[in-house]
């Protein structure tokens, strides 16, 4: 029994999902939809699918699932349309930059009763998933502190910065999800500090490029997140969890294990350059779990509510930045 997909978005994340669908023994990519018809055509052709418009894709009753990898401003509309059409939804993060819109979207999904997975890909990274299993197994006892480092290799284009919703909604949203997942409790207060020290243009565009956050949960668990839009050595994604009995760290995987020693130094590989390389395996695992959850009628490993909660933390951080005060998190 094969799950047939229509995919929206033929950009770089769409390309990854398409290739994973093509290799999947219980999934099939049927349609690719993109405002850029040529891009849709090419990606469809590469994997034996067909380019289509949104309506045809949504109306085809043989299509069981919609994968949304188009631009952020289209996510909520597509989710709602997919929900109405009774399709399962795999939606790239964020659902929307507006909390109100997110809530409308989730209401539509809930009322349609369709399964929905929000694409927090890091939960499916082998190292972060192993770290989470260790925490859940009690390997380090009661969780006390979580420290998340998340640094991009280079700033995105300024044009993107302007429509991104800002660093907290666009970039740190992933880390807010990791924080909730690993803390095992909802953060109660959020404090943020930030600057545009990497590129003054980003500051002039009203955004920040460097940020640090502190959060505290009701039982006193603490969490720190640091973000930067620049890491000259590559994509830097590390997590530490400290508990009453020990510490778990997930570091950066590297392309090879080669080490060179010479008169200057001992040098090893840099981390993978960016998320497409680092999270290749995570994207494949995410799709596997989406398909398996539908097959087996199990709940999705990341829900729409997870998407909303991460956004609540981003909103609190943004308010804190404006006030210099630790903000309470709405619920």
> What residues have CB less than 8 Å from 263, skipping those under 6 apart?
none
Q: Which stretch binds its own copies (CB under 8 A): 28-36, 111-119, 240-248, 295-303?
A: 240-248
Q: How far is the CB of 239 from its own copies (least distance, A)?
A: 10
CB 272 within 8 A of CB 82: no
Burial class of 57 by CB neighbour count within 10 A (0 to 12, 13 to 18, 19+) = buried
- Residue 175 is a binding residue for its own copies (CB under 8 A): no
How far, in Å, CA of 315 to CA of 36, rounded? 32
- Residue 1 is a binding residue for its own copies (CB under 8 A): no
Q: Using CB under 8 A, which of 41, 145, 303, 319 touches its own copies? A: 145
Q: How far is the CB of 247 from its own copies (least distance, A)?
A: 4
Identify whether 117 is preceded by a cis peptide bond (ω within 30 of 0).
no
Q: Using CB under 8 A, which of 26, 162, 245, 298 touches its own copies? A: 245
- Residue 216 is a binding residue for its own copies (CB under 8 A): yes
Q: Using CB under 8 A, which of 159, 258, 296, 331 touches its own copies? A: 258
Query: What's 53's DSSP letter?
Result: -
- Residue 330 is a binding residue for its own copies (CB under 8 A): no
Where in 19-126 does DSSP place strands (E)? Answer: 27-33, 50-51, 65-68, 88-92, 116-119
61-100 positions binding its own copies, by CB under 8 A: none
CB atoms inside a 10 Å sphere around CB 240 = 17
Helix axes 12-23, 37-46, angle to 10 degrees: 30
Q: Using CB under 8 A, which of 226, 274, 277, 303 touches its own copies? A: 226
- Residue 168 is a binding residue for its own copies (CB under 8 A): no
- Residue 265 is a binding residue for its own copies (CB under 8 A): yes
Query: What's 184's DSSP letter?
Result: S
Count of residues of this chain found to bind its own copies when the rule CB under 8 A is applied: 76
- Residue 230 is a binding residue for its own copies (CB under 8 A): yes
Q: Which of 180/308 has CB closer to its own copies?
A: 180
Q: Using CB under 8 A, which of 6, 198, 202, 300 touches its own copies? A: 198
Q: Which of 101/238 has CB closer to its own copies?
A: 238
User: Which is it for strands 327-328 and 189-195: parallel, antiparallel or unpaired?
Assistant: antiparallel
Q: Which of 25/331 has CB closer to its own copies?
A: 25
Q: How far is the CB of 120 from its own copies (least distance, A)?
A: 18
- Residue 210 is a binding residue for its own copies (CB under 8 A): yes
- Residue 250 is a binding residue for its own copies (CB under 8 A): yes
Which residue has 């010479």 as its token pair?
A: 262
User: Which is it for strands 116-119 and 88-92: parallel, antiparallel or unpaired?
Assistant: parallel
Q: Using CB under 8 A, which of 1, 62, 100, 264 touches its own copies? A: 264
Q: Which stretch binds its own copies (CB under 8 A): 84-92, 138-146, 165-173, 292-300?
A: 138-146
Q: Which of 52/211 has CB closer to its own copies?
A: 211
Query: What's 36's DSSP letter?
Result: S
CB 316 within 8 A of CB 330: yes
- Residue 205 is a binding residue for its own copies (CB under 8 A): no
Q: How far is the CB of 110 from its own copies (least distance, A)?
A: 34
Q: State phi, psi for 321 to the nearest 5 degrees.
A: -60, -35
CB 315 within 8 A of CB 99: yes
258: its two tokens: 């080669």
CB 269 within 8 A of CB 254: yes
Q: Using CB under 8 A, which of 86, 163, 233, 295 touches its own copies? A: 233
């Amino acid at each position: 029994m094969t799950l047939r997909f229509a995919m929206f978005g033929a950009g770089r994340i769409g390309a990854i999902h398409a290739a994973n669908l093509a290799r999947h023994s219980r999934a099939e990519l049927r349609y690719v939809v993109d405002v850029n018809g040529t891009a849709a055509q090419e990606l469809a052709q590469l994997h034996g699918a067909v380019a289509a418009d949104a309506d045809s894709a949504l109306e085809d009753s043989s299509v069981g699932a919609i994968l949304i990898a188009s631009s952020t401003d289209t996510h909520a509309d597509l989710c709602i349309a997919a929900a109405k059409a009774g399709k399962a939804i795999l939606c790239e993060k964020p659902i929307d930059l507006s909390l109100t819109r997110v809530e409308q979207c989730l209401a539509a999904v809930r009322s349609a009763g369709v399964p929905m997975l929000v694409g927090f890909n890091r939960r499916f990274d082998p190292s972060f998933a192993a770290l989470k299993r260790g925490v859940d197994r009690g390997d380090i006892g009661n969780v006390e502190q979580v420290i998340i480092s998340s640094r991009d290799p280079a700033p995105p284009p300024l044009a993107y910065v302007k429509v991104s919703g800002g660093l907290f909604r666009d970039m740190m949203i992933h880390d807010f999800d990791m924080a909730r997942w690993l803390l095992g409790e909802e953060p109660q207060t959020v404090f943020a500090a930030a600057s545009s020290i990497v590129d003054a243009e980003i500051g002039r565009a009203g955004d920040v490029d460097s940020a640090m956050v502190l959060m505290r949960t009701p039982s006193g668990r603490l969490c720190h997140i640091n973000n930067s839009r620049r890491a000259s050595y590559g994509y830097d994604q590390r997590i530490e969890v400290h508990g009453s009995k020990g510490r778990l760290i997930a570091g950066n995987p590297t392309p090879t294990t080669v080490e060179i020693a010479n008169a200057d130094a001992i040098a090893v590989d840099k981390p993978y350059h960016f998320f497409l390389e680092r999270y290749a395996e995570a994207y494949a695992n995410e799709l596997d779990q989406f398909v398996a959850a539908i097959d087996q009628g199990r709940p999705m490993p990341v829900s729409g509510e997870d998407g909303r909660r991460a956004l609540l933390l981003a909103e609190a951080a943004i308010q804190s930045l404006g006030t210099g005060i630790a903000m309470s998190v709405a619920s």
